[in-house]
Every structure is written in C-alpha cells, then in structure tokens.
Amino acid sequence: MHPSIQALIRTALDEDLGTGDVTSLYFIPEEARSKARIVAKEPGVLSGIEVAGQVFRDVDKGISLRCDMRDGAAFKIGDVILEIEGSTRGILSAERTALNFLQRLSGVATTTRRYVDAVKPHTVKLLDTRKTTPGWRLLEKAAVKDGGGTNHRMGLHDQVMVKDNHLMACPRLEDLQAAIDRVRADRPGIKVQLEVDTLEQLADFLTLRGVDMVLLDNMSTDQLSQAVQINAGRLFLEASGGITLDTINAVAATGVDAISVGALTHSSKAVDLSLQVL
C-alpha cells in the first residue's frame, strides 16, 4: 500500500477516534468478541476493499477478515462485501472509517461504470480528471479504473497540458513551438497536450511539432465531428466540458478518441453500505 494511503488511513482514524472510542470503552466488555459483515443496501461496483480491511487491522491486529469479492466486481442489494471477526470494541471503533472509504470509493467506481456503459457501442476511452478530493487522488483514480475507466495524468508532474490560462501568457505559435521543443529536449518521454476551444485554434495547433494530444474544450457535437475530420487521425483527441450521462453517447459518436468527465470523482454519490454485528 502506498505510504500516502497509509498516512491517509492514520489521519482518518485519528480524526474519528481521537483519545479513544468512549462508547465502546464503557458499554462493550473488553473480552467481547463478535462476527460482523458489511452488506450492500443498493447495487454498485466495489472499490476500496483493501483500504477498508487495513482500517480494521490498524485498529486491532487481531481482527480477521474474509472477502470473496474483488475491486471492480458488481454487487447487488444484500450481497456481503466483507466478513469480519474479532474484538467487538475493535470492530465498532473501525466501523465508520472503514465504511467511509468503502462507500466513497465504491461510489466513484459505480458512477464510472455507468458512464462506461453509456458510451457503448463506441470504443472511446473514458478519462478522469484532477478534480479529486485532496489527499484521495490515488484512491479515487484507482476507483475509476475499478469502474472501467482510464486514468488521465496523475498530477502536474507527469504530463504537459497547455490550457487556456497558459495560452494567455504564451499566445504566439512560435513561442509555443519553442516551449514544446524545450520540453522534448529536457523530457523526451513526456506527453504534450494542448487545449483548444475553436476549430481555428485546432488547425493552427496541427502545424506544431511535438504535440501528442489535443483537448477539445466545451465544443458542440457538430464542432467535435468537424474537429475529427480536420485532425484526420494525426493527434489523439479528447473531448471535455460539461459532459453528462445524457450527452456522452452523442459525444462518443463524433469519433473522438477519449472523453474526460470530472463528475466521476467530484460528484459521485457514496454507495449505501452497512456494517451488521451478528
């Protein structure tokens, strides 16, 4: 498990437990042991099972876990997601934090699966964005993959994306070309993407060397279809901006290579899961 995820678990437990679970301390005998299970109260797609399990183990190393489902698996109402056995105090102290991770991440995976299903039969890639919960990016992007999506850049460090605000400071084509050439010289393996919001801008950018991808921002489906024709297979085309479940299939039908949707991570509803002590 990545150190940043381990740290996030510790932070979440510190936030919830503080100086200790006073309810369990006074109402649950120290020697009490229980079996429990996490059950689905609505259908969804699983993500975060390892993180949830780590929460229980961090609270009490004596807790044992059993899970017959893997991240990415679809579940229905009543399905048992995780079986837990051990100290009753430990189970109850870990309950909310484990559920918070599991419900949130399964929500992202479930939303992603809906979008993936919505683009069929087109083979377009569904991409996430950097619109993630601070500190949760690795987990939320993993949840997107569990739902069948594809990860875009992880951060500002692993791909060049020249957006409208960058272009305001570097508007001339010759300056853009010089900057791209410097990137290629210093970081030969990195991908370079430019954002466009007009077809004229796309035509200009197709004259540049060293560009891998173009982001077509907030274009209509007619504009996207024209962009695909203008590009003629030269660069990887990504559509983005205000795309919903109702509109994504029409966007996919234009022939773009990928569609990015910020809502996968910034607007996903948590899946309803419940821990039941048996």
Active site residues: 96, 131, 163, 195, 217
Q: Which residues contact 254 (CB under 8 A, 6 or more apart)?
A: 221, 224, 225, 227, 228, 239
Whole-number Å distance between alpha carbons of 17 and 29: 18
Q: Are residues 85 and 34 in contact, defined by beta-carbon separation less than 8 angstroms? A: yes
Beta bridge partners of 37: 83, 276
Other beta carbons less than 10 A from residue 82's beta carbon:
22
Assigned token pair, 256: 């773009």
Q: CA nearest 228: which of 122, 157, 94? A: 122
Taking the alpha carbons of 170, 171, 174, 179 in that order, is the dihedral positive or negative? positive
DSSP code of 244?
A: -
Q: H or E element: which one contains 38?
A: strand 33-40
